[in-house]
Amino acid sequence: MRRIILIVSIAIMVMIGGFELWRTSSFNQQSAANRALSLSSTAIEGKFSLIDHNGRPVTQDDFRGKYTLIFFGYTFCPDVCPTTLQDIGLIMDDLGDDAEKVVPLFVTVDPERDTVEVMKDFVTNFHPAIVGLTGDTKAVVAAAKSFRAYYAKVVPDKDEPDAYLMSHSARLFVMGPDTRPLTFFQYGETAANMAKKIKEFLPQS
């Protein structure tokens, strides 16, 4: 019975991810200008008030003047999150000297388990520029709502409530130095393509 519940839960998460990938696949093929125009019609505020992985309270205004790459996930994520953070590391390397204009932010959707210490141990395994952000449940809910990021707890086995997963959207947001949204990439976009499109937004040196 437990095996059936686990299989069904995983199937639901795969279906949600597949729908998100299909829904935004055409968006990912647009030019940077058209992508920005499409995004401007959505209600993405891009606001948050969280704690970074060094224990410092931060908001979107602390990163004003920098371009930010923002991804919502969690440290216990078995595949999407570590893959995306690896991609972010590749993007930062690909940007070369322009990387100093960009700050990647990894926002947890699992504040119950993702403490400051856990976030620090996790993000430092990928790229030194990545900043992990956590907070209390209310703050994380508010941040996700501001980015229209979806997430929900999935408990495969009710007898083991702590062994839960988090179903979540998998968009990598690109925010401008004025903290306004520029575009986003859906899971599955290659790091090389994302880096190329990000460079289109950066001022020429």
For the purposes of burial, counting CB atoms within 10 Å of the CB of 198, is it exposed (0-12), middle (13-18) or buried (19 or more)? buried
Across 177-196, average pLDDT = 95
Domain-embedded: residue 204: no
Domain-embedded: residue 37: yes
| Rounded CA separation 128/123 (Å) | 8
What is the chain's alpha carbon radius of gyration, rounded to the nearest angstrom? 17
Domain-embedded: residue 77: yes
pLDDT grade for 18, boundaries at 50, 70 and 90: very low
Domain-embedded: residue 192: yes
Residue 157 contacts residue 165 (beta carbons within 8 Å) = no
Judge whether residue 131 has pLDDT over 80: yes
pLDDT computed for residue 158 by the predictor: 82
pLDDT computed for residue 162 by the predictor: 81
Question: Considering the chain, what is the average pLDDT of its residues?
Answer: 85
Domain-embedded: residue 61: yes
Judge whether residue 180 has pLDDT over 80: yes
pLDDT grade for 23, boundaries at 50, 70 and 90: very low
CATH code of the domain containing 23: 3.40.30.10
Judge whether residue 22 has pLDDT over 70: no
Q: Edge-to-edge, what's the strand order for the sheet holding 131-134?
A: 57-59, 49-52, 131-134, 102-108, 67-73, 171-175, 181-186
pLDDT grade for 27, boundaries at 50, 70 and 90: very low
Domain-embedded: residue 169: yes
Domain-embedded: residue 205: no
Residue 68 contacts residue 103 (beta carbons within 8 Å) = yes
Among 119-133, 153-167, 177-191, the least confident range:
153-167
Across 171-178, average pLDDT = 97
The 3 state secondary structure assigned to the chain is CHHHHHHHHHHHHHHHHHHHHHHHHHHHCCCHHHHHHHHHCCCCCCCCEEEECCCCEEEHHHHCCCEEEEEEECCCCCCHHHHHHHHHHHHHHHHHHHHHHEEEEEEECCCCCCCHHHHHHHHCCCCCCCEEEECCHHHHHHHHHHCCCCEEEECCCCCCCCCCEEEECCEEEEECCCCCEEEEEECCCCHHHHHHHHHCCCCCC
pLDDT computed for residue 205 by the predictor: 63
pLDDT grade for 173, boundaries at 50, 70 and 90: very high
Distance in Å from the first CA to the final CA of the chain: 60
Domain-embedded: residue 10: yes
Sign of the dihedral through C-alpha 127, 131, 136, 141? negative
Range of the domain at 74: 2-199
Q: Highest mean pLDDT range out of 26-40, 99-113, 162-176?
A: 99-113
| Rounded CA separation 163/69 (Å) | 29
Our count of domains for the chain comes to 1
Q: What does each C-alpha distance from 72 to 54, 125, 160, 173 come to in angstroms? A: 18, 17, 25, 9
